[in-house]
A and B are shown apart, each in its own frame.
Chain A
Amino acid sequence: MEDTEQRGAANGPLLEMRGISKRFPGVVALDDVNLSVSPREVVALVGENGAGKSTLMKILGGVYQPDAGEIWLNGEQTSIHGVSDAMRLGIAFIHQELNVLGNLDVAGNVFLGREPRTALGLVDRKRIHADARVHLRRLGVDVPTSTRLDRLPIAQQQLVEIAKALSLNARLIIMDEPTSSLTLPETDRLLSVVNDLRNQGVSVIYISHRLGELTQCADRVVVLRDGKNAGELAKNEIEHDRIVTLMVGREIKNFYVASRAARTPGFLKIRELRSSRYPGKCVSFDAAQGEILGVAGLVGAGRSEMAKVLVGLDPYGSAQVTLDGNALSIRTPDDAIENGIYLVPEDRRVEGLVVGMSVCENITLPRVSRFARFGLLQREAERRCADEQITTLNVRTPNREVLVANLSGGNQQKVVLGKWLAMNPRVMILDEPTRGIDVGAKAEIYRLMRGLAERGTVVIMISSDMEEVLHISDRVAVMHEGEITGLLERDDCSEENIMQLAVGRRVAVASTPERVTAE
């Protein structure tokens, strides 16, 4: 009995997820997805932003429950109801944002929440240090276990977290973008750790946007696209281009409406923009009056950081900005606003709106002082301005005094737009303008953006939604790790080209930023 079970475990897959489906209000995140992992296998899971990788892994980690489908572990059907269930089953999750406590030492982190006790009920410090050392040695890490974690570089913190997984007897470790904040030597180190883990009998699900790494560590690549299985590549088939083909491979209908606006190329010139996130890299590009410039790239490419530098929200960033021939100095948000450069930020509820205030108060927030006489609000003028924006933007709200918190996402986003529209934008930067917004409101926001461009505003749209980028942009700049890897003219905008640039490859038809700088 025991024998057969063990043999079953050795031959059959360690994990099988069968027919997993998950829907969220308005979206099908996963549709009948299958994933299997054998013992001692490293499976790479890839896909575009929003392809369903995270949802699938959260189901495996017990964060979400699937609406349909089965999970088999070691030949037994199981259900994972919470993070502690996943832990008990030997599944460990190394998140992109590490879950470590900087104020505890290495051993304290490894044994957090399950510290062995001495007879007196105190933490058995001798044991946790000795045990932590054993697990760290398995990973080839040689740091004193009494080091506070915030003294260690990210790469080592990550290894501590992997050691924690090992101390939990994890048989399957999920790594979500583990190399996104590592340097090149650190990445190589981590990849060899992954290989060591496999040799020690641990399976790994490895999520990464950096396709180059996959040839070094993956035994198999599983590609998801739009919440479905898009295909698999065996070890000898893993090639950059084949992965990209599987990731995109979808027909996108062309909704693009050519702009009727006259273009003034070089209206906005950005040179040597450096953000505090990527201080060693710089971004240069031009944008024309009357165009919508899409900015594509994968999560973490530095797009939002670039936008924040442009509107003076990054105190350590810098850029040379020329607008309509005038060199601008933008140090504070006020400088940007003074020059008509506005940002519709990524996180509506935190950065865009004061949700506890009314629609009217939010719309007029950036410019209440313009309505004021002797520092006192002219409420009549304020109300008129708010009502005007509510009507032009078609904000669906019972009246202007309703708290923004009570509006739907699409209408909240219109309020954010309303804050800036009446202030004659010259440059409007929209960061993920339609994230979490229903289709109807999306179309309205696209129309508004097009209208702005036609009235002579430079519209810069940062978006991770490939369809949106292709659908709206007159040109597309693609970013990868803090740099623009290429600028695509309208005719060259294809999902394939954008994806190649987004993962850091060169594309022949794309103009490179070097050329832009030289001009």
Chain B
Amino acid sequence: MKKEAGIAALLFVLCTVTAILNPKFLSPVNLTNMANVIGMFGIFSIGLGFVIISGGIDLSVGSMFALCGVLLAMALREWNWPWPLAALMVLLVPMGLGWIHGMLITRMGMQPFIVTLCGLLLYRGIARFVANDTTKGFGNAEGFETFANLARGKFLGLPMPFVLLIIISAVMWVVLHRSVYGRHLYAVGRNEEATRFSGINTRFVVTITYVLAGLLAGISGVLLAFYTNSVSPSTHGSFYELYGIAAAVLGGCSLRGGEGSILGVVIGTALLQVLQNLVNLLGIPSSLNFAVMGAVVLFGVLADQIVQRRTERRQLRSPAAAATKTE
């Protein structure tokens, strides 16, 4: 809980400073737009959080966006599929890919980094090939207006991606923090061996995280495709997996596994998006965009590490006393 409070405070400070320096930050247009991107980035970051809690990593998300985007645009505009079928496909494809990742990792003993790095290259290539390396768009969404409105519309004045993020994070919060699966996931991340010794099917637990990451990437992918309205397969979603990983780590996930929370990931995502917005609004050269983000993630994780060491040192002094008491 402390971790979340820490970055929430950082987020608040950043918002306040930006709002003071440039009041446009609080304008409805800016806030709506920010809510929109926070929604899109938050959804797939939660999936990455699950993978990271299991002790793994998923680098393929950005390429999955390209593949999903291209397939969606072509299914709707070129193959004239009914939109529910197209939507179903772009959710099932990344789930299937995630399942393959999980199987390669748990059954074949491959390393998550390698498997998903190959995914990153593979899906980007497939997306470009399928689209013949041309940009695919949605035009005016003739014939699938309902779908487009669903993705771009608003609910109670909030942009749909943000609404979806709230719903999804509530569901995933229950899954992670209140379900049997969540308990098993934390246990696997902390100590895979002891968990296996306890009779838990650790392969299943790990595989599911990649399937979940795929599903959430699919949802984000649809939203992102409609947001940009056109998908150019060579750049669409490029590097987005790193935003997700950065958000999860900033939100308290440890790449060693076994640590992290939904709230942390969501706040981490928001922090990264506010930073981008801040770069724009404060007139910082946009070429520094990545540098600012890198510096903040580095600083955040460093601060956390320092705090952790201090508590550990304090505990080192006290458990000796505590142990004799409990003996």
Interface on A for B, CB 8 Å cutoff?
313, 332-334, 336-337, 343, 345, 350-357, 361, 365-366, 368-369, 372, 375-377, 396-398, 406-408, 410-411, 419, 438, 440
Whether A356 contacts B190 by the Cβ 8 Å rule is yes
Contacts of B323 in A (CB 8 A): 406, 408
* Cross-chain contact of A376 among B180, B191, B193, B196 (Cβ < 8 A): B180
Q: How far is the CB of B198 from chain A (nearest CB, A)?
A: 4
Cβ contact of B181, chosen from A337, A354, A355, A375, cutoff 8 A = A375
- Min CB gap B221→A, angstroms: 27
| CA distance in complex: A375, B319 (Å) | 36
Nearest opposing residue in chain A for B196, CB measure:
A333
State the CA gap A408–B326 with chains docked (Å). Answer: 8
A120 → B minimal CB distance (Å):
35
* B194 in the interface (beta carbon within 8 A): yes
Q: How far is the CA of A151 from the CA of B190 in the complex (A)?
A: 34
B228 CB-CB contact with A under 8 Å: no
In the complex, B183 has a CB within 8 A of chain A:
yes
By beta carbon, the residue of chain B nearest A338 is B199
Contact partner, A365, options B178, B195, B319, B326, Cβ 8 Å: B195
Q: Contacting B190 at CB < 8 Å: which of A337, A354, A375, A406?
A: A354
B156: Cβ under 8 A from any A Cβ:
no
Question: Can you name 21 A-B residue pairings with CB atoms under 8 Å?
Answer: A333-B199, A334-B199, A337-B199, A343-B197, A350-B193, A350-B194, A352-B194, A354-B187, A354-B190, A354-B191, A354-B194, A356-B190, A356-B191, A361-B187, A365-B195, A366-B198, A375-B180, A398-B326, A406-B322, A408-B327, A411-B326
Contact in complex: A353, B191 (CB < 8 Å):
yes
Report Cα–Cα, A438/B195, bound state, in Å: 26
Within 8 A of A (CB), among B142-177: 174
The reply to whether B180 and A354 form a contact with Cβ atoms under 8 Å apart is no
Chain A residues with CB under 8 A of B315: 406
Q: Nearest chain-B residue to A337 (Cβ)?
A: B199
Residues of A within 8 A of B174 (CB): 376
Identify which of A350, A354, A438 contacts B327 (C-beta below 8 A). Answer: A438
- Are A334 and B193 interface neighbours, CB within 8 A? no
Q: What is the minimal beta-carbon distance from B39 to any residue of chain A, in angstroms?
A: 26
A370 to B322, CA, bound (A): 33
Asked if B186 is an interface residue, CB under 8 A from chain A, the answer is yes
Interface centre among A365, A369, A408 (most CB of B within 10 A): A365
| Seed contacts A366-B199, A368-B180, A376-B174; 15 additional CB < 8 Å A-B pairs | A333-B197, A333-B198, A333-B199, A350-B194, A351-B193, A353-B194, A356-B258, A357-B186, A365-B195, A368-B183, A377-B178, A396-B327, A398-B326, A406-B319, A408-B327
Q: Is B30 an interface residue (CB 8 A)?
A: no
Main secondary structure of the interface of B (DSSP, over half): helix
B71 to chain A, nearest CB (A): 32
Interface digits, B307-327 against A, CB 8 Å rule (1 contact, 0 not)?
000000001000100110011
* Most chain A beta carbons < 10 A, residue from B190, B198, B200, B258: B198
A334 to B195, CA, bound (A): 11
Contact of B179 (CB < 8 Å), options: A354, A356, A372, A397: A372
Report yes or no: A375 in contact with B187, Cβ–Cβ below 8 A: no
Contact yes or no, B191 A361, CB < 8 A: no
A466 smallest CB distance to B (angstroms): 26
Task: Report whether B191 and A334 are in contact in the complex, using a CB–CB cutoff of 8 Å.
Answer: no
CB proximity of B212 to chain A, nearest CB, Å: 14
How many Å from the CB of A471 to the closest CB on chain B? 22
Q: Are A351 and B200 in contact (CB under 8 A)?
A: no
Q: Which B residues touch A352, using CB under 8 A?
A: 194, 197
Most buried by A among B174, B201, B323: B323
Interface: B124 (CB within 8 A): no
Instruction: For A313, give its contact among B186, B190, B196, B200 (CB under 8 Å).
Output: B196
Q: Which of B179, B186, B199, B201 contacts A336 (CB 8 A)?
A: B199
Residues of B within 8 A of A351 (CB): 193-194, 197
In the complex, which residues of chain B have a beta carbon less than 8 angstroms from the beta carbon of A354?
187, 190-191, 194-195
Contacts A368-B180, A368-B184, A376-B178; is A357 near B199 (CB within 8 Å)? Answer: no
User: How many angstroms from the CA of A440 to the CA of B184 in the assembled complex?
Assistant: 33
Cβ–Cβ contact A366 & B191, under 8 A: no
A398 neighbours in B (Cβ, 8 Å): 326
Contacts of B195 in A (CB 8 A): 354, 365
CB distance from B317 to the nearest CB of A (A): 13
Q: CA A440 – CA B323 in complex, angstroms?
A: 14
Given A313-B197, A333-B199: A397 in contact with B186 (beta carbons within 8 A): no
Complexed CA–CA distance, A361 and B193 (Å): 16
Complex Cα–Cα for A357 and B194 (A)? 12
Of listed A350, A356, A397, residue having the most chain B CB within 10 A: A356
List the B residue with the shortest CB-CB distance to A350.
B193
Q: Residues of A contacting B181 with CB < 8 Å? A: 375
* Residue of B whose beta carbon sits closest to that of A313: B197
| Cα distance A333–B199 in the bound complex, in angstroms | 5
A313-B196, A350-B193, A352-B197 known; A372 vs B322 contact (CB < 8 Å): no
* CB contact between B198 and one of A332, A377, A408, A419 (< 8 Å): that residue: A419
Residues from chain A with Cβ under 8 Å of B194 in the complex:
350-354
Q: Which A residue's beta carbon lies closest to that of B324?
A: A408
A266 CB to closest chain B CB, in angstroms? 26
Q: A397 CA to B326 CA in the complex, in Å?
A: 6
Chain A residue at smallest Cβ distance from B182 = A377
* Across-interface contacts of A355 in B (CB, < 8 A): 190-191
Contact present for B190 and A365 (CB under 8 Å): no
- Complex Cα spacing A375 to B200, Å: 15
Q: How far is the CB of A326 from chain B (nearest CB, A)?
A: 19
Q: A356-B258, A377-B179 given as contacts; is B191 within 8 A of A365 (CB)?
A: no
Chain A min CB distance to B172 (Å): 13
> Which A residues lie within 8 Å of B200 (CB)?
333, 365-366
Docked Cα-Cα span, A8 to B186, in Å, equals: 65
Q: How far is the CB of B17 from chain A (nearest CB, A)?
A: 36
B282, chain A: closest CB distance, angstroms: 41
Nearest 9 CB-CB pairings of A with B: A337-B199, A366-B198, A396-B326, A354-B191, A333-B199, A356-B190, A372-B180, A365-B198, A354-B190
If A333-B197, A354-B195, A419-B198 touch, whether A377 touches B326 (CB-CB below 8 Å) is no
Which A residue sits closest to B195, measured CB to CB?
A354
- Cα distance, A194 to B211, chains bound together (Å): 58
Question: Residue A334 contacts which of B201, B322, B327 (CB distance < 8 angstroms)?
Answer: B201
Determine how close the nearest CB of chain A comes to the CB of B30; give it in whole angstroms: 39
Taking the closest CB of chain A, its distance from the CB of B57, in whole angstroms, is 20
Bound together, the chains give a CA A357 to CA B178 distance in angstroms of 15
**CA of A356 to CA of B190 in the docked complex: distance in angstroms?**
7
Alpha-carbon gap, A192 to B174, bound state (A): 67
Query: What's the Cα separation between A361 and B174 when bound, in Å?
Result: 17
Task: Write out the residue numbers on chain A whose beta carbons fall within 8 Å of the beta carbon of B201.
Answer: 332, 334
Q: Please name all residues of chain A whose beta carbon is closer than 8 Å to the beta carbon of B186 when the two chains form the complex.
A: 357
Please measure, in the bound complex, the distance between the C-alpha atom of A396 and the C-alpha atom of B181, giving whole angstroms: 29
State whether A365 touches B187 (Cβ < 8 A). Answer: yes
Which B238-295 residues sit within 8 Å CB-CB of chain A? 258
Contacts of A440 in B (CB 8 A): 327
Residues of A within 8 A of B258 (CB): 356
Q: What residues of B have a CB within 8 angstroms of the CB of A337 in the complex?
A: 199
Measured in the bound complex, the distance between the Cα atoms of B190 and A369 in whole Å is: 19
Contact A357 B190 (CB under 8 A): yes
Name the A residues within 8 Å of B319 (CB-CB).
Answer: 406
Closest to A369 in B: B180
A360 to chain B, nearest CB (A): 11
* Chain B residues with CB under 8 A of A368: 180, 183-184
Residue in contact with A350 in the complex, picked from B187, B191, B198, B322, CB distance below 8 Å = B191
Min distance, Cβ B213 to any Cβ of chain A, angstroms: 19
